[in-house]
Amino acid sequence: MSFLAVLLALVLEQVRPLSPTNVLHAGLRAWVRAISGNLDAGRTTHGYLAWAAAVAVPAVLAMVVHHLLWQLHPVLAYLWNVGLLYLTLGFRQFSHHFTAIRDALDVGDEDQARSALARWQQVDVGQLPRSEIVRHVIEHSVLAAHRHVFGVLSCYCIGAALGLGPAGAVLYRLSEFASRYWSHKSSQPGEGVSPALLRVAEQAWALIDYLPARMTAVAFAVVGSFEDAVDSWRQCTQSLAGLAWASVERNQAVVLAATAGAVQVRLGGSPLSGFAPNAADASDTSDVPLPQPLGSLGAGGRTPELAHLRSVVGLVWRSVVLWMVLLALLTLARLLG
């Protein structure tokens, strides 16, 4: 079931992607905002309660509905899985930003590329040179692909193997969204949540993303330059030895380090910072800037250039194929076993 559910969800998402202003995102923002407004009283205990209500409860509900539908008919459970994967999984939630920037760079319009990058990340990019534009596009695109595709796939497959249905996919996406949304709101005057809730959400997201981030890194290494990816990953791990074993920065760095080695490009450096003064409310669902400067990743690679964007696209799609082949083999083994 997992293979067919993922395949159909990916096809549906390509044929009919969700609009950035769809009702689901609006409802999700309202849900997370209401939870923090009613349960966030500033203490760590309240932070755990608010996070559980916003993230864990919907994940458990997804699992319960899956099992109830399975009792009625397996096809209903399958359709439930496809529906939730369609809502949580897919490239089209961010790929239009990547395409707009790449097309602008293709025709040499760096001003348009900077403008598109600024709209995507809701920041003022200033006068970034061409190589820095490409670097930021690679970093944010790879992290977006991990969060919207590979991380969801990892958690969905783990949850399905444990009999949890689509609960893993829901848990992953809601955990990431809640952490990102509350962090964004805290940057707005008078709209923030308590430091306790922010800390709980970030810690929970880092813990949940720990294994998926490394699974994505392994996939990139397998379909890219394996030795360079592993070497870059090892050097990155050594440079981040002072961080907690499960932290947002470490998880991001692992994915980016594997990417840098896999396509032999230098990544890392100063992140984009400072929200643009005309940032629209759509920034609630945009990908936030990297939280801190990352050290040099893939030091033996080349300076980022336009050709690396095509290399990254190939890396991502080969990783999708790898995932689908593995899912197909596991599904076949289960049917034959």
pLDDT tens, residue order, the chain (337 aa) = 788 999 999 999 989 888 777 888 889 999 999 999 999 998 999 999 999 999 999 999 999 999 999 999 999 999 999 999 999 998 888 888 899 999 999 999 999 999 999 888 877 777 888 899 999 999 999 999 999 999 999 999 999 989 999 999 999 999 999 999 998 888 776 667 899 999 999 999 999 999 999 999 999 999 999 999 999 999 888 887 777 777 888 999 999 999 999 999 999 876 665 444 333 333 444 554 444 445 667 667 788 999 999 999 999 999 999 999 999 998 888 888 6
Segment (H or E) for 3: helix 2-15
Q: What is the pLDDT of residue 191?
A: 66
CA distances from 152 to 9, 24, 69 (A): 12, 18, 22
As given in the structure block, the two tokens for residue 255 are 């994915």
Q: How far apart are CA 328 and CA 29, in angstroms?
A: 35
**Residue appearing with tokens 């952490």:** 179
* Structural domain span for residue 154: 2-336
CA 111 to chain centre: 27
Q: What is the pLDDT of residue 269?
A: 72
Q: What is the pLDDT of residue 283?
A: 42
- Which string of b and e fits 115-146 if b means at least 16 CB within 10 Å? ebbbbbbbbebeebebebbbbbbbbbbbbbbb
Q: How far apart are CA 211 and CA 216, in angstroms?
A: 9
3-state class (DSSP) for residue 275: strand
Q: How far apart are CA 151 and CA 207, in angstroms?
A: 13
Q: What is the pLDDT of residue 271?
A: 65
How many domains does the chain contain in total? 1
Instruction: Return the closest-CA partner of residue 40 out of 201, 281, 173.
Output: 201
